[in-house]
Amino acid sequence: MREQLVRPAVGLLLAAFLLSGCAQRVGQADYGASRTRTAQSVRYGTVVSVRDVRIDNDDRTGTAIGTLGGGIAGGVLGSLLGNGRGSVLAAVAGAALGAAAGYGGAELLGGQTGVEITLTLDDGQTLAVAQGKDADFAPGQRVKVLSDGMTTRIVPER
């Protein structure tokens, strides 16, 4: 009986970790489907400074799934230890440890490295834009600023 519960519990824990890592990409080359085939204004400018930032998910669903899945899997695995009262205590401890591990895994996998790019547009206006770090930018580099009124991205001028 106990062996029959181990595989589903491990599978559930693995699924929770995988689902918690579904972070939304926010780099200069990443477009959501709803942002395609829309007009964007294009302006040009020069990079003034670049600094690394961490971009966390605004959507907490992955963290909740990781915590819940880890708690369930930990509880099931813990209940397989001991007999009677010991089994109950092991299940509670397993659920707590599993939830903590699921939360930590979701937080770790849910974010991404980004950059904050400060630039001066050709019209003299100064902008700062944070986005995923999928291209290298350096002070003095010429860039395009693409904006659709909701999102703005900086791309190297080629």
Of the candidates 85, 69, 97, the residue with the CA atom closest to the CA atom of residue 8: 69
Q: What is the pLDDT of residues 142-154, one digit of tens each?
A: 999 999 888 888 9
Calculate ∠ Cα 19-25-29, nearest 5°.
150
State the pTM of this model.
Answer: 0.52
Residue 73 structural domain: 2-156
Q: Tell me how far apart the 2 most distant CA atoms of the chain are, in Å.
A: 75
The amino acid at residue 74 is G
Q: What is the pLDDT of residues 119-141, one digit of tens each?
A: 999 999 999 999 888 889 999 99
Name the CA radius of gyration of the chain, rounded. 23
Of the candidates 113, 128, 4, 101, the residue with the CA atom closest to the CA atom of residue 54: 113
Number of domains in the chain: 1
